[in-house]
A and B are shown apart, each in its own frame.
Chain A
Amino acid sequence: MTALLTIIVLVFILIAIWQMVKIFDLAQAKSGGDEIPGVATDKDNSLNGYLMMGFLAFIYVITIVSCVKWGDLPLLSNSASEHGPTIDNLMIISLVIIFFVQTVTQFLLHYFAFKYKGEKGKQALFFADNNKLEAIWTIIPVIVLAGLIIYGLNTWINIMGVDESDDPIVIELYAQQFNWKARYAGADNTLGKANVRLIDIDRANILGLDEADPNAQDDIITTELHLPKGRPVLFKMRSQDVLHSAYMPHFRAQMNCVPGMITQFGFTPTKTTAEMRATQQMKDKVANINEIRVENSKELIAKGEEALERYEFDYVLICNKICGKSHYNMQMKIVVEEEEEFNAWLKEQKEFKNSLIN
């Protein structure tokens, strides 16, 4: 049935196009016809020249409208980590450069397409080469890019370089299809040795810790990631099955989790969850989201389903490397809190040696 309908619709579309072609041909025949069939006439040149200007306007309008309507979506401020603002600054500088170049070059392209639209008898300029011009548009990008490269690499090296003298807390992020675990190193701040070959589900040794390793005894495994504000954190990432990626957008942090290998990423959280919720930007965002949820709930209720819960902001750790069927739902809540709260929370968690089932 659907197939039949589809075929009927398609046939109608084809007939419509056929009729359209006939109308075009008639109109063309009336206005004297093309000199060469299928080749643009002065009239076509002129019409499409104007459309080029129209399209330029369209590009500008879609840019402005998108910025106005969706300008608050991008993560360009309100970052929650120490290095966040440097990334945001670099991003903003790059975006400004991009917008500038985009505006100018699109203008030139479309304006020339309009201005120099062809007319019979007009003579184009025979202009094949100019070394000065070539040099200019080689050197200008070189200068701009040199600036971006220097700034960018500086930022990158600062972010990726882990300074052990800062005494970071070491936390393992452990990925599996399709959830996350965090492992805290405990009082010794040293993660116990681990390998997936040591996993023993019956004994609840789910991350494959080496039960004989003294460093492993006080490790703490959790399903929520708590971080103390203001302390450098060094994440050690592991995966037990396929690639995953630990993406923490609000902290401007991301690193893949690779089976057979330990990867790392470090940052210092600067805003507790409560502080983040209290920022004006976040309040606006959450209010907006809740409006949308209320709206969506109406539909659900009409269908006899449950309404959506109210949303409250929480930091999240998102899987950002395709990892299978439920990739789209592989997340862990992140809580940033003051150091005392963090310590209190950590104390409530079970140490590895006490979590084993004998």
Chain B
Amino acid sequence: MSAHADTHAHDDHGHHHKETFVTKYIFSQDHKMIAKQYLVTGTIMGVIGVIMSLLFRMQIAWPEQPNVIFEALLGKWAPEGVMDADIYLALVTIHGTIMVFFVLTAGLSGTFSNLLIPLQIGARDMASGFLNMVSYWLFFLSSVVMVISLFVSAGPAAAGWTIYPPLSALPMAQGGSGTGMTLWLVSMAIFIASSLLGSLNYIVTVLNLRTKGMSMTRLPLTIWAFFITAVIGVISFPVLLSAALLLIMDRSFGTSFFLSDIFIQGEVLHYQGGSPVLFEHLFWFLGHPEVYIVILPAMGLVSEIMATNSRKPIFGYRAMIASILAIAFLSTIVWGHHMFVSGMNPFLGSVFTFTTLLIAIPSAVKAFNWITTIWKGNLQMNPAMLFSIGFVSTFITGGLTGIILGDSALDINVHDTYFVVAHFHLVMGISALYGMFAGIYHWYPRMYGRMLNKNLGYIHFWVTAVCAYGVFFPMHFIGMAGLPRRYYTNSNFPLFDDVSNVNVIITIFALIGGAVQIVYLYNFFVSIYYGKKTVQNPWRSTTLEWTAPIKHIHGNWEGEIPHVYRWSYDYSKPGHDEDFVPQNVPLKEGEEELQH
């Protein structure tokens, strides 16, 4: 087997090179440092993204009213403190882009795949530390380009995070479709390169560098999730890259892939024969799998954390893997549910309704398995556990409305309304964010050698949980009332005057929810230096990362890498004194291993 082929070559890896400040902290090739770099960069982008959402929420709640905060933060885009309509769309667009790609793809998957894959499978590092470093720095570069795009004079990209042409292709259609969109596309192209390098590395590492005894069916579910996520990424991201490249061609070199028969601002453009619907297909061929790229790693983290803190094996380990595989497969054939009313053939709509509702089945299996996991457990209510339970809760609430949106007949009337905004924030945005927080609270000691303050963690969770429902639950109602999303104000529709008070309530919850993240940021950054020192295995977990020394060393373990003798969920196994048996503990005489 290839699983332990290279343990030898790597054994004394750590003791060779001298580390300088630059190779240790900046151009580090160590997966643990790279994980932290991803996390901090993702956090900074997250702060930007959340502040943006608060700004446009304030505009929606108190439309066209002067606000000193707008004046201070938006400058020329808020003449006399009144937010401009163009910048509203730009804020929505960049908020969506940052949250989906920079926070919940790179920040979440980048952090935890890097941290956990080598540590949990028993490897010295990623298959290629160098590519891993390049991957992070490309991500950093793309973040920088995205942030720079906020400052171009005609405004940042403002065509929605889906950047459908022709709006995104024609600078005369919208200010943000000039330099702002160019930078958006450049940033995303770099981002995709980064993501592909990362994904390939994760796949190769999981397949080749598992320690002795770590068969695929002994892997923690985290690793399964990261592995399959990487596979989905490798399949779907190149399609977005090609869409972006074709769009760049249309924009700058006069091709007509997505454009045809356009008359704008008094002139006919030369484009002929292209189709915006083609772009939608290409975009959503990534766009839908993307939501699973965001959610699967969170699911993996939550499965692991729930088992550990329930002191119980994850329920239905094999069903969990099977459902990850089923979701991964189905996720590549459901993209058309975003396009029921795009003008594509209605027969295709039928097909996509069918495949979309199918994907509800593995999702339901996962939800029931998590609930059964905590049943008759001995639940340790650490902040990570709370966020995991919160994850299941919002995943259910948000996921259920998917059966409405996935049903083409029903989508006709709620497509592109706030109902959609409510749905995807709960099922993908908030859930994945909870997964990420859960992961941070759980593995913080592994990253920084110190503990986060749990009481601040409790405050953070409970206030966030209440606000998340307070923000997104009412949105279902205004969405079903027919209120379109991406509207700068609703005041031109007296018809919607009766939703305005709902919008105020939503915004107040959003502001509180946003503010409480300061508690989290404080906890995160202060604990790096002043947190209480951690013990070796604070959560009494079975997985290998807790056997490595607290102080990070290059190569992860001194001496030999531990061997693995059992799966990763031997919690409360009868016949043992402790309520957990780490994976590197050999089977007792006569002890049966479960399931393999």
Residues of A within 8 A of B (CB): 2-3, 6, 10, 13-14, 17-18, 20-21, 24, 36-40, 44-45, 47-49, 51-52, 55, 58-59, 62-63, 66, 70-71, 73-76, 86-87, 90-91, 94-95, 97-98, 101-102, 105-106, 108-110, 112-113, 116-119, 122-130, 133-134, 137-138, 141-142, 145, 148-149, 152-153, 155-157, 159-161, 176-177, 195-197, 199, 201, 208, 237, 240-243, 245, 247, 249, 252-256, 258-261, 263, 285, 288-289, 292-293, 296, 308-309, 311, 313, 316, 318-329, 331
Contacts and interface: CB of A to CB of B under 8 A. Distances in A.
A40 B454 contact: yes
B353 A153 contact: yes
B379 A38 contact: no
A128 B462 contact: no
A118 B378 contact: yes
Given A101-B396, A156-B350, 13 more contacts: A17-B519, A36-B538, A39-B538, A63-B473, A126-B312, A126-B572, A142-B361, A196-B263, A197-B263, A260-B260, A261-B260, A261-B343, A326-B85
B400 to A, nearest CB: 4
A292 to B, nearest CB: 5
Given A106-B393, A289-B494, A320 B277 contact: no
Contacts of B69: 2
A91 B416 CA distance: 17
Contacts of A293: 494, 497
Given A74-B481, A113-B389, A124-B572, A105 B417 contact: no
Contacts of A13: 518
Contact of A129 (B273, B579, B595): B595
B500 A292 contact: yes
Interface residues on B, range: 35 or more
Contacts of A48: 381, 386, 458
Contact of A75 (B264, B319, B445, B480): B480
A129 B353 contact: no
Given A116-B377, A159-B409, A196-B262, A153 B350 contact: yes
16 contacts: A24-B455, A38-B532, A40-B380, A62-B469, A109-B374, A122-B378, A127-B315, A129-B595, A149-B407, A152-B409, A156-B353, A242-B165, A242-B173, A243-B276, A285-B498, A311-B495
B357 A149 contact: yes
A325 B367 CA distance: 41
Interface of B: 68-69, 71-72, 85-86, 89, 159-160, 164-167, 170, 173-175, 259-264, 266, 268, 271-277, 310-319, 341-343, 346, 349-350, 353-354, 357-358, 360-361, 364-365, 367-372, 374-382, 385-386, 389, 392-393, 396-397, 400-401, 403-404, 407-410, 412-413, 415-417, 445, 451-456, 458, 462, 465-466, 469-470, 473-474, 477-478, 480-482, 484, 486-490, 492-495, 497-502, 518-519, 522, 526, 531-535, 538-539, 569, 571-574, 579, 594-595
Contacts of A321: 164, 416
A241 B267 CA distance: 10
Given A134-B319, A256-B342, A156 B408 contact: yes
Given A37-B533, A112-B375, A254 B412 contact: yes
B451 A254 contact: no
B569 A128 contact: yes
Nearest to A3: B72
A160 B365 contact: no
B264 A177 contact: yes
Given A199-B263, A261-B275, A113 B379 contact: yes
B210 to A, nearest CB: 22
Given A126-B573, A142-B361, A325-B86, A49 B379 contact: yes
Contact of B354 (A52, A153, A176): A153
B481 A39 contact: no
Given A197-B268, A253-B412, A321-B416, A152 B407 contact: yes
Contacts, number: 414
Q: Which 10 A-B pairs have the closest CB atoms?
A: A260-B260, A38-B451, A74-B480, A249-B482, A37-B532, A263-B343, A160-B346, A48-B381, A196-B263, A125-B376
Contacts of A62: 469-470, 473
A282 to B, nearest CB: 11
Contact of A58 (B360, B407, B466): B466
Contacts of B266: 201
Contact of B382 (A39, A109, A112): A39
A11 B372 CA distance: 45
Contacts of A196: 261-263, 268
A40 B455 CA distance: 9
B379 A118 contact: yes
A90 B489 CA distance: 31
B358 A145 contact: yes
A127 B404 contact: no
B346 A328 contact: no
Given A37-B451, A159-B412, A322 B458 contact: no
Given A44-B454, A152-B408, A324-B174, A128 B374 contact: no
Contacts of B159: 322
Contacts of B451: 37-39
A331 B412 contact: no
Contacts of B272: 260
Given A37-B532, A116-B378, A125-B312, A157 B413 contact: no
A127 B386 contact: no
A71 B532 CA distance: 49
A311 B318 contact: no
Contacts of A155: 409
A6 B51 CA distance: 14
A304 to B, nearest CB: 15
A110 B174 contact: no
Task: Please indicate which of the listed interface residues B445, B466, B494, B579 has the most CB atoms of chain A within 10 Å of its own CB.
Answer: B494
A316 B493 contact: yes
A96 to B, nearest CB: 12
A51 B462 contact: yes
Contacts of A58: 466, 469
Contacts of B342: 256, 258
